[in-house]
């Protein structure tokens, strides 16, 4: 990871330890991350970091948000187009 990101390994490890040990911290990803070619996995990994460090639905952490729209319900409102 260090070589791929051109960031010193010791710095990555220090940030990881500080994040894991912090009393209040959370990962937040938004448009800048999600618009990238690999944005979906980056968004998911942000949530994974919050979950494995115990930062979901607690003070100082990240709360679960179901989203602004019910995408499953909305998908049933449109007629599927046939694929060729």
Domain boundaries, the chain: 25-67
pLDDT in tens, 11-68: 999 999 999 999 889 998 888 888 888 888 998 899 899 999 988 888 888 887 777 7
Candidates 51, 62, 57; CA nearest to 25 is: 62
From residue 35, give the alpha-carbon distance in Å to each of 2, 39, 48.
23, 6, 19
Q: How many residues does the chain have?
A: 84
Say what the pLDDT of residue 15 is: 94
Distance of CA 36 to the CA centre of its chain: 13
Q: Please tell me the pTM assigned to this model.
A: 0.65
């Amino acid at each position: 990871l260090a070589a791929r990101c051109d960031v010193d390994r010791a710095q990555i490890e220090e940030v990881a330890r500080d994040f894991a040990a912090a009393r209040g911290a959370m990962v937040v990803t938004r448009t800048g991350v999600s618009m990238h070619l690999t944005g979906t996995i980056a968004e998911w990994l942000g949530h994974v970091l919050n979950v494995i460090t115990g930062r979901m639905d607690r003070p100082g952490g990240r709360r679960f948000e179901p989203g602004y729209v019910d995408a499953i319900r909305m998908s049933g409102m449109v007629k599927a187009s046939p694929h060729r």
